[in-house]
Structure 1
Amino acid sequence: MHDSPLPPGYPRLAAFMRGSQNEVAILKRFDHANVLALLSLQAEVVELEQEYRDQCLLDHQDDSTRRFSESLKLSRHSKSPQYEKLMELREKLEEYNRFIIQVHQMNSIPSPQPSQLSALKDWLRDFKGGNSFLQSNEAFTWADPDPSSYLCLSAPVKETDPFTTFITEKILGAYHHFLGHRLGTGEVVDTETGHTSYSSSRISQASSLITTVLASILPVLTILVLNTLESTNARIAVTAAFTALFALVIAVFSDAKRIEIFAATATFAAVEVVFIGSALTGTSQG
């Protein structure tokens, strides 16, 4: 028994988001609305807290209610206005504290990559996909170009270095157009539009492989070039150039921290200096 086709609009959008390993399951953060709601709750708590204090002072002026501030049990059994106000304050605090925790947890959800947001917008505009079904105010739901305005339900990409981002945003589309769709290496998440999702982990692995190969080749290539030079000044100039190139490769093709880049570059430069030193020693002995 075949599943009946989903009606257009939100049902198809939900299926599209679900079928893409959540990579385009992108929702608004509503930062302004959340903060506004928290501020309104905070204002209510402040007001209730002051009302409770005022009630305590009022009760303290009367001999029959003076002990309410000293005995919550008595205040509770008497169903005093002071105790009722305290319960009202406690309920509002629970709502306020619960909402703060929710907003804090939501802020830990990662934002989408620009390519993910672009893929969702493309599907929404595609006449075979969303066909611009969003109307009125809902039409602006995903209008903000800033990815930080949204949260993405997919697992965060482990590698977020510039090279991986370049592959995802620039190379992947061309790869799918010329080769990927023939090899079937991606996952078709919408049969109507042919939208295909590629695993973020595999993209990251490919990026790491290319980076590792480049970092491994550069030292050998440097020694090879230095070995062809006879002038010491030329060797020093080439050493400086290759050292800068090595640092650039590490910075662009990986997510290494600054101190890690310094350490790797220093090690690379040390290998070059040792080679130049041994070359000078061999020349002087000759």
Structure 2
Amino acid sequence: MAHAEIDIEVARDDGESLQGFADFSQYIASDISLSIYRKYGALGARNLLYLQTELQFLELRLEVLDKEDKSAIANGDINDEKLEIEKAARSWEVELVYKIRELMKEYEEALLRRNEVLKLEKPEKVPFNAFKAWFRGGQIPKLWGSGFRTLHNEDDMISLGTQTEPDRMSSLIHRCLGYRLRVERKTPKSWGQMYCYPVQRVTLIVAIMSMLCSASLLVGAIMALYFVKPIGVRLGIVGVFTLLFAASIALLTHARRVEVYGATAAYAAVLVVFISVNN
């Protein structure tokens, strides 16, 4: 007799959440970036294939009935006995159509739902590493039974809490100054230390650095053009600073190509106007 595996929760006496689904759900709910779940890519595809095969079988049965109707009409061989048989066949055909209609609805809904699931992004590297470290850490497994295989296939994981990807400057500040900005969160002792990074602080630093960068590029270019007189050298300075300005926008922000072109053109126009006025 086969025994099905079950997921069990381990009782705890330290006042924390019950180890198992209760503790796991509390951990996931502690931060939006930890809303990480299985996508079941192969299983979802298999389910669609099952539905597709069932529909194909019903489609073949309907085609057979259509051929029989066509043959009977072409031969003109119709009598009372034939009419009774055709009447019974019609009831089978109507029942078949109802089955197709019901299964087609289920199949199309499954396709649309799967399409939405496939649009979900993979977890970001930092929260996913924290998720894996927490799930696999400790002497006692977080889940027993089949739940122990939650991270069996790491490529099959998706995140429901994927936020807008930060710009490169924010990512740079996070990597370089993150340890100074982080704030320790109050969590159960069994989770270990957890930190959060206040978005407001990072946003403020990015805003200040962006203003300093743009202002320095503009003021630096104007100062250089003011002290340099040869027109050829001035045009070279305009080209260099324009290139630096475009590179700073393209590399440190998520600006679209059209926005980079527009901002660069406006910057270059300001420098050209300064040259003409200064001359």
The alignment's TM-score, normalised by the length of structure 1, stands at 0.73
Change (3 A) 1:195 1:91: same
Contact 1:124 1:132 in 2 (8 A): yes
Contact 1:38 1:96 in 2 (8 A): yes
1:230 aligns with 2:233: no
1:154 to 161, 186, 191: 161
2:263 matched residue in structure 1:
264
1:175 matched residue in structure 2:
178
Aligned Cα root-mean-square deviation (Å): 3.4
Give distance in 2, aligned partners of 1:232 and 1:135.
77
Contact 1:124 1:131 in 2 (8 A): yes
1:28 aligns with 2:38: yes
Any residues of structure 2 matched to 1:181-196 within 5 Å, and which?
Answer: 181=183, 187-189=185-187, 191=189, 192-196=191-195
Deviation at 1:106, TM superposition (A): 2.1
Give distance in 2, aligned partners of 1:261 and 1:99.
42
The percentage of counterpart residues that share the same residue type is 22
Contact 1:189 1:197 in 2 (8 A): no
Matched to 1:109, the amino acid is L
> 3-state DSSP class of the match of 2:37?
strand
Change (3 A) 1:34 1:256: same
> Which 5+ residue runs of structure 2 have no aligned equivalent?
1-13, 73-81
1:164 to 153, 167, 170: 170
> Which 5+ residue runs of structure 1 have no aligned equivalent?
70-74, 282-286
Q: Write out the 4+ residue segments of structure 1 that deviate beyond 6 Å after TM superposition.
A: 130-137
1:38 matched residue in structure 2:
48
Contact 1:164 1:203 in 2 (8 A): yes
Change (3 A) 1:87 1:96: same
Change (3 A) 1:101 1:82: same
The alignment's TM-score, normalised by the length of structure 2, stands at 0.75
1:48 aligns with 2:47: no
Give distance in 2, aligned partners of 1:201 and 1:29.
32
1:18 to 29, 32, 35: 29
> 3-state DSSP class of the match of 1:23?
helix
Once the two structures are superposed, residues 187-208 of structure 1 have per-residue CA deviations (whole angstroms, 9 ceiling, x without a partner) of: 4455541212335576456535
Give distance in 2, aligned partners of 1:25 and 1:52.
45
Deviation at 1:209, TM superposition (A): 5.0
